[in-house]
Structure formats: structure tokens, C-alpha cells
Structure 1
Amino acid sequence: MPVTEILEKPARTKSKKSAFREWLDSVLFAVIAATVIRWLFFSAFVIPTPSMENSLLVGDYLFVSRLHYGTTTPVTPLQIPLTHQTIWGSNIPSYLDWIQLPPFRLPGFTEVKHGDVVVFYLPVEHPDAYQKYSSVLPELHPHPLDQRSNYIKRCVALPGDRLEIMGGQVYINGIKQVNPVRMQNEYFVSTTTAVNEENVFHKNGITDFTQFTETFDDSIASNDEFGYIVKTTGDLAGKLKSYDFVKRIEPVFMSKGLKEPFLFPTTNLLDWNKDNYGPVLIPKKGATIPMNAVNIALYGEVIKNYEGNNQVTLGSNKITLGGKTLESYTFKQDYFFMMGDNRHDSADSRYWGFVPKDHIVGKAAFVWMSIDPNPVSFLNKLRWDRIFRIIQ
């Protein structure tokens, strides 16, 4: 029986990677891992404005969980990893909008609830909406959905809720809501004389204050009354009562019926302001509303920009879809009403409207670092008491 000789090929010597190739592989792995973590699990954000004070401060660095509500798939896949809107340190766009995919939300383990601090894409950076709101937010630019600016606010009303603000107090479905623990409002502090601002206001954690002038509402004080307008929490304002030169402290709210400019919606049919707003029904998926003049003002932009409808024409007294006048409309997705905890210094849903569900990014979880942009001294630059603070 013939025997076949098996000849083994000599083993190839595996070439050793160069130091540059190993470094390049490590960087590539780190970028891919960071991109996946940032998209799927959590993202890091920094607070740039005082709209959430005194709950969140300018200079707070926080982690936002994308797992809570479920992360969404990318709309613009042609993007430089780990960027948002622009390339670092420049105004060069970091994405191409040649391909835009429909968003799909992966399952989360909870839904948005009343009082949640939520990060979301700013809806009015929609290409058909941004110019209308440039007087309130002059920095607006049009972007695809997942490239719009990230905003952080507190959810005060859910889909299907009827929201009303009366005298600065939020009511949902007629029930008075519990205010955030560190919510900030405006107060008039009447004093017998000018005060040492460093020893009185800064010492009590109050950094936003203005001496009272005639530019404020005349109903706040009498002609001969001296004082200050301060933005702070109720507890901190209460501390000022212990000073013998403080005569009284009164919260400052706009009067009911006094129409505020630049408020949402832009219409003369409603005389709302930031302290007296609504009642308004928050759009809910499957809910049907009649198309009267007020509802066109309230929900017309929703129907045109965020519901996936084509050929929508808005008028003051009618709205058409595909050339047909709508007598009623059934919403295709849920919406939310968001407000900042700094109630008199927040560009929120009172000024630009509802937040669609597909714009929700995640839930703010905790502050991992906090840097004071205007410290009293270098030693106070880092706010040690805020590190790893759970966001409430």
C-alpha cells in the first residue's frame, strides 16, 4: 500500500508590530470604545448657563444616563467620533447630512417622570423653526435631529397632562405640584439702607442680585422704598430676614393677564406670561384635538415640524395637510413640557414649546466634578461639596 509523505510547511515568523502601529491600534480601540459607551450607556456634559440654578450650577460636570429612557440610533451616521455639531475648537461642522436615517429608540428601563432632570435636543433648531426663535435664543442654528444643541431642564408635565402655572406655582391636572428643593425665584428684599453685598449676599450664597430701580414693576415697592431684587431659593431668601436692616422680603411675580413678549405660542389670542401660563394640554400619542385658532397656534409647529408630515401649510385660522384643511388632528408621538429650576432666568418650554419624545437624550444622574467659574480665590475654584452629588 503506497504511503503518502506529508510535508509540513515551515511556520511563518509573525512580524512584530512597530511602536507606532501599537499606538495607533490602542488609539483606535479607545475611540471606538468611547464612542460606543457615549452612545449606548452615558455621556458627560457641563452646565454652561444658570437656567437650572440652584439645583445645578454653572461649571457642574455631570453624567447623563442614556440607559434610563433608552438610547436612540444615530440620524447622521457620517460624523467624526466624539464630536457634536463642530470639530473641536473650530466652527467646522463635524458631520455630513448627506445621509439621514429615521431615529429608533432602544428599550430603556424607565419612562420620563414628573420632576426628572432631562437632557434633550433643542427642538427649535429645526431648519423650519430656528429663525422664528432667534430673538429668544440668538445662538440658534439649524441642525439635523441628533446634532441639535443639548439642553437640560426639569420635566414638569408629561404627555396628556393639563399644565397651568398660577402665580409662579405649577399645577398639573389641577393639582399643585411639589417644587424642586433648590428651585430659584426672584425676591424683593426691602432694606433701610444700602448693604455690604459681600457680607450679606455672597455670604449667604446669593450671587445674582440687582439694586431695585424703576425699571422693575412699580407694584413691588412704594416710591420711597429701597431694596434689591435677588434670585435665590426660598430658604436662602429666608436667611436674610435675620438682618435688622431688612424690612421685608416678597417674591416677585408677573401679574395675571399681563402678556409677556417672546412667549410660546406667538399669538394675540392668549395673554400668558412666565408666572401665569396656560392651561395647556401636553400632546400625547393617539390623542385627537380639534383644529381651532388657539390649537393651531399651540400645536401647528408640532404638526408641521416634528410629526413626520409633508406638505403642511400653517395659517392663523387654518392648517392644511397635503392640500386638505384639517378639522382635527391625532398626534403620532408623545411630547413633554420642560422648565428650568431658575424660573425667572430660563429659556424653556414657556418660550419655545414642547419637547418631542424622539428628542430625549437621557436622564441627568450625578455631578462628578464642579468648577466655580468666578471663585473668590484659587482655593475655592473646586466646589468640593458638589463632587459626586446625586441630581434631584
Structure 2
Amino acid sequence: MSFLDISIIYLIAILIVMLPSYGFYLIFKKLNIPAWKAFVPFLNMWEIYKLTGLKKVWFYCQFLPIVGWFVSLWILVEFAKLLGRFSFLDHAGAVLIPFIYFPYIANHKDTRFIGAEKVRQHKKSGVREWVDAAVFAIVAATLIRAFVFEAYMIPTSSMEKTLLVNDFLFVSKTTYGVRVPNTPLFIPFVHHTVPKLEVKSYSELIQLPYKRWFAKDVDRNDIVVFNLPVGDTVINLPEFQSRITYYDQMLAEGMTNKFDSAGKMIYDLELGRKAILNNPRRYPLITRPVDKRENYIKRCVAIGGDTLEIRGGKLLINGESAYVSPTQASFYHVYVKSILTEQMLRDRGVRISYTQMDYAAMENGKVLQLNLTESELGKVMQMPEVARIEKKSEAPRSDVFPRNKNYAWSSHNFGPLWVPKRGATIALTEDNMVFYRRCIEVYEQNKVEGKAGQYSINGVPAQEYTFKMNYYFMMGDNRDQSQDSRYWGFVPEDHIVGGAWLIFFSLENGIRWDRMLKRIKD
């Protein structure tokens, strides 16, 4: 755990004991305790500890990382009991809204100090004991999930062979600083939808602006969990969601059946947008705040200020060859002289899950499509059954960012593209707006009007724009099987959830013991 992680953990510990300070101040005055102590972190809890009669060890347990948060919350409940407050609502108030609860009871006519002995004499029913324990567990788990780490399962093969389908990870929320939830009113343990009921798990009654405590920039090559940037508008049907995004469907509906001089179909995105908006029964739309958009996990290959390019499947950053993870994989056509089986590949140390093992006739021979790392590629090339290997190529695609007819890019030939950086300024030109309009308008919440070099931002004529956030370019390590920034563009800093930290469990036809408790390093 880094110094930054530890700092954030203790910042939260201090916040817990300081939130009720004003209420402590009012109560301390009535109990003839020097009221100024209410505003000194942990000195206020020392005074409360002396009143409770608890063992001294409990006071010191507050300084344990993470565990100390819950000890402090428990002491707040014990303090409420000392003031004659035993109801479930009282204890929930002491834990959930101490900054409101303690000032409230300090001035309430029924509040009185009864002492530790009477608290010990008070008996709760068995049901109440279970209810209190359950609520405390929920609060504890919710705080940990929101501010420290969260469990995450790898659902797809986009990060093969770095992260495998059914790897279960812990994602550290402190790696890039703790992000304050945009929607603090939510049902614990679910992301954006209540299972079975298929209703929102959160309320937008309170929405907080983007804020990150002890913010740290993402480093190039980090494996990062983030909210899907194009998950802001969703077709709310099981077959769509993040599988087929609103913007993908807009492209599909924008097919014109007309072709350009190169024989490529012409797409009209505005036509596609109208087709969706005019058919709400077929395409029921919902919007989601940033922190409730779908979670994705990819590798950050470019950071703000970088220029990225892909040539023939090779990634270049600022004109130089980019880092290649030992577990990064691409698809190859493997031409064979004789039968090559799955078991033969496994015996050579080649992982062949999520590959196509079917043979097809090609150039009077046999061909396999295999997903290989550089190390595996070398092993396959040495096999006597193999005649030659060719890297799979890809023609320009209409669904590749920026989805503009002037840029015939593909996932294998892409860019060059500059990644926006906080504080950097660009000229507002027609070419620039193809790439950066969504950043300016959607992610940084400006009203942009005009075109062809005559733009206004928030009603003011503008010839340039300075970015307020850092942006990142994310790609899956399984380069040919990954929906990533090549298709939907940049990831803003406010969408960053945390860093992939530890594989705590893994499953494939049984437990993958070799992956248990494995740190995620590259």
C-alpha cells in the first residue's frame, strides 16, 4: 500500500471523527467538558471514550487502517446511548448523518446524560441485535466499496491474456485518489440497476460535482477501471446496454445504402439519431451519471499530451514504439502443414482460449486463427507442423473513432491522434472539432455552437479552447477482441474508478489455483 493510499485512509478516519464536531461542542458544554476539545481530531473521541467506560484498547483501535473507521462509528453509537438514545433511528443517525444528528440531540429536550452503568443495564431484543449487526455490516461494506476497494469480475476476453474471463479482482479506489460519488443516494452492493426488478439503484435527487481527494494522474501502461464514457445515454434493453451502445445503434440506423467513390457505404449519424429518438418503444432511452455508467477495464496506452498512432497493428506513442505487455495478444493466421490440435498447443505452453480452432481452406493449405502473445508466437513458429504465420489485417471501418468519412481508420491503422491534456489549448477548427467536440461539449459541459471555424462556447465567440481535464486513451491487451478507445474515443479523468490491484479468485472449469492472490503488475 502506497503512502498516498495510507494518507487517504487516515483522511477518511479524521473526517469521520470531525463531522459531528459541532454537535460534540454543544454536548461537551452541557457536560462541563472543555468545548474546544470537540474540534481536535481524536481528542474529542478520547473524551467520549472516558465517558463510555470502554476498554482503552478500543480507543487505540481507531488508528488501525480501515478497521479504525468502524471502531469510530461504533463509539459514536455508544455516545448516543450515553445520552439516552437507544432506538434504531438514533443509532442510524449517529452513523449515517452524525453532522446533523448530534447537533439535533444536543438541543433536544429529551436528551440527558445517563452514564455508562445505565447503558450496560439496557437490554436489546434478539431481533434488534441482529438488525443492528446487519445495518453496521452494510454501512461498513458500503464505505469500503465506495472509498477503498471494490470487487470486480472480468466478464469478457478484451484483456486476455493479462486478465482472464472469470478472474475476480480487487480494484483500489485510492490508486488515483478517492472519487467522491456523484450520486451519494444509492442502494448498497449494486451498481446502477436493481437485479430482477430492473429499476435504478440510485437517486439523482442529490448530485455532487466531480471531486477527487489526493488526486493522482494515471500513468502510461497502468491497468485501469473506468466508467464507460459512451455509457451516458443507454438503450435500456438487455440486448443493448453496453453491448451495443446508443452510438453504435445510431451508426447502424444511419446506413444510407449509398456508397462513396471507394465503394464504402455512406453513414448519416443524424439520420440514425432521429431514427432512435422517434421510436421510443423500440429504443427506450435512459441517461446515467458518470459514476453509474458501466465499469470497463483496459490498459492506459496514452496519457494527456501524448500523440498516438497505430501502424499495421503496432502501437506508437510520440513516434516511438510503445510498451508491449508480455501478456498482450493479437490474432494471427497460422498456416499449417499437418493437423495442429488444441492439446498440442497447450503442451507447448500456448493458451488457446477464445481462439478459433476451425480449419479453413486458404491458398491450397490449412489455416488456423490463433490469439497469441509475442512469447507464444515464437513457440508456434518453432512447431514443425507450422508452415508460416501472418498477422491478421483489418480494412478501414465506419465504427472506428472519430466515425467521420474523412478518416479511413481501422483498429490496426489509426491516427496520429493527440490526447487532450489539462491546461492545453487548441485552435477551434473543423478538423479539431471532429476529435474534441465531445470532450468540450459533453465531458466538460459547455454549449458549443457553430461550424467551419466560426464557433461560440457558452454564447461567447471563441477561436480556441483550453481543456479542464486530463484525458486517456485505453486499449485492451487482447487487441483484436477489445471494444476500447479506438471505437469510442478518450476517457476523461472524472471517469476513472481505480487501479486493478489483486486477483483474489479465478475460475475456469474449476479454480485456477495459479492465479489466486496474484498481484496485477503489468
1:328-343 paired onto structure 2 within 5 Å: 328-343=464-479
1:195 to 336, 340, 357: 340
Deviations 1:237-268 (A, max 9, x none): 332234322111222233xxx42220010111
Deviations 1:35-94 (A, max 9, x none): 111111111100000000000000000011111111111111221122210124442211
- Matched residue SS, 1:155: strand
Distance apart, 1:190 and its partner CA: 0.3
1:205 to 326, 344, 351: 351
Q: Which residue of 2 aligns with 1:267?
A: 404
1:359 to 495, 501, 508: 495
Deviations 1:156-178 (A, max 9, x none): 00111111111212111112112
Q: Is the 8 A contact 2:305 2:419 kept in 1?
A: yes
- Matched residue SS, 2:397: coil
Counterpart residue type for residue 335 of structure 2: S
1:77-116 paired onto structure 2 within 5 Å: 77-108=184-215, 110-116=216-222
- 1:260–1:354 distance in 2 versus 1, CA, 3 Å: same
Q: Distance in 2 between matches of 1:324 and 1:126?
A: 26
- Matched residue SS, 2:201: coil
Counterpart residue type for residue 330 of structure 1: T
- Matched residue SS, 1:344: helix
2:225 to 113, 119, 122: 119
- Matched residue SS, 1:52: coil
Q: Does 1:229 align with 2:369?
A: yes
- 1:332–1:45 distance in 2 versus 1, CA, 3 Å: same
Distance apart, 1:191 and its partner CA: 0.9
1:144-293 paired onto structure 2 within 5 Å: 144-200=289-345, 204-207=350-353, 208-211=355-358, 213=360, 223-254=363-394, 258-293=395-430
Q: Does 1:344 align with 2:505?
A: no
Distance apart, 1:303 and its partner CA: 1.0
- Matched residue SS, 1:274: coil
Q: Does 1:42 align with 2:149?
A: yes
Say which one has the larger Rg. Answer: 2
2:518 to 367, 377, 389: 389
Q: Distance in 2 between matches of 1:139 and 1:366?
A: 38
Moved more, 231-240 or 117-126: 231-240
- Matched residue SS, 1:195: coil
For this pair of structures, how many residues does the alignment match? 364
Q: Distance in 1 between matches of 2:124 and 2:221?
A: 53
Counterpart residue type for residue 448 of structure 2: V
- Matched residue SS, 1:21: helix
Q: Is the 8 A contact 2:398 2:404 kept in 1?
A: no
Identity of aligned residues (%): 39
Structure 2: runs of 5 or more not aligned: 1-113, 236-244, 253-282
Q: Is the 8 A contact 1:293 1:318 kept in 2?
A: no
Q: Does 1:56 align with 2:163?
A: yes
State the TM-score, normalized to the length of structure 1: 0.86
Counterpart residue type for residue 82 of structure 1: F
- Flag the structure with more relative contact order, 1 or 2, with Cα contacts below 8 A and sequence separation at least 6: 1
Distance apart, 1:192 and its partner CA: 2.2
Q: Which residue of 1 aligns with 2:9?
A: none
Counterpart residue type for residue 393 of structure 2: F
- Matched residue SS, 1:332: coil
Q: Distance in 2 between matches of 1:40 and 1:47?
A: 21
Q: Distance in 2 between matches of 1:28 and 1:260?
A: 52
In proportion to residue count, which structure has more helix?
2
Q: Which residue of 2 aligns with 1:308?
A: 445
Counterpart residue type for residue 386 of structure 2: V
Structure 1: runs of 5 or more not aligned: 1-8, 215-220, 376-380
Moved more, 43-52 or 185-194: 185-194
Deviations 1:171-204 (A, max 9, x none): 1111211201100101111012443344446873
Q: Is the 8 A contact 1:126 1:305 kept in 2?
A: no
Distance apart, 1:322 and its partner CA: 2.9
Q: Distance in 1 between matches of 2:315 and 2:343?
A: 33
Distance apart, 1:111 and its partner CA: 2.9
Moved more, 126-135 or 363-372: 126-135
Counterpart residue type for residue 177 of structure 2: G
Counterpart residue type for residue 517 of structure 2: F
